[in-house]
Amino acid sequence: MIHTNNYSEFLAIKQEIQEKKLFFIKIVSDSMEPLLNVGSKYTVVPVNLNQLKQFDIILFWQNDRPNAHFYWGKHLAGNIKGHMSRSLKYPSDVDLPIKDEYILGIIPIKLKLRHKIIFLWRYYFSKV
């Protein structure tokens, strides 16, 4: 495991979520718009990894920063074990597998039907 300059930030976020059962994250990317808006703050709570469902919004650590994307399922291909996620902006792209320890929590937002339709629409037309 490579410890980057931001690794201490990751550990601090993880500890706060575990101890306080609550964390607030400010969105700085448009990868999940219109569901998660840039500049808005959202609550993050701990998650039981065995209870994750497709379309849950997970906060995970990747590329030296926290990311919030849809949970897509377990990644079991080859020797890489972990979890898959996708963004609303690029639904046909699956993020790199996320190891259990890098999933920080979930953003407990009930996904509306229109957001699922937007996602599926983008997914379908990105394949064409």
Residue stretches of the chain with pLDDT short of 70? 1-5, 127-128
Q: What is the CATH number of the domain that holds 55?
A: 2.10.109.10
As for how many domains the chain has, the answer is 1
Shortest CA distance to 27 belongs to which of 111, 107, 91?
107
Contacts with 87 (C-beta within 8 Å, 6 or more apart), sequence order = 31, 32, 69, 70, 93, 95
pLDDT in tens, 50-77: 999 999 999 999 988 899 999 999 987 7
2 domain-assigned: no
37 domain-assigned: yes
Domain that holds residue 85: 7-127
1 domain-assigned: no
Question: What is the value of pTM for the model shown?
Answer: 0.84
Whole-angstrom distance, CA of residue 74 vs CA of residue 85: 9
Q: What is the pLDDT of residue 1?
A: 33
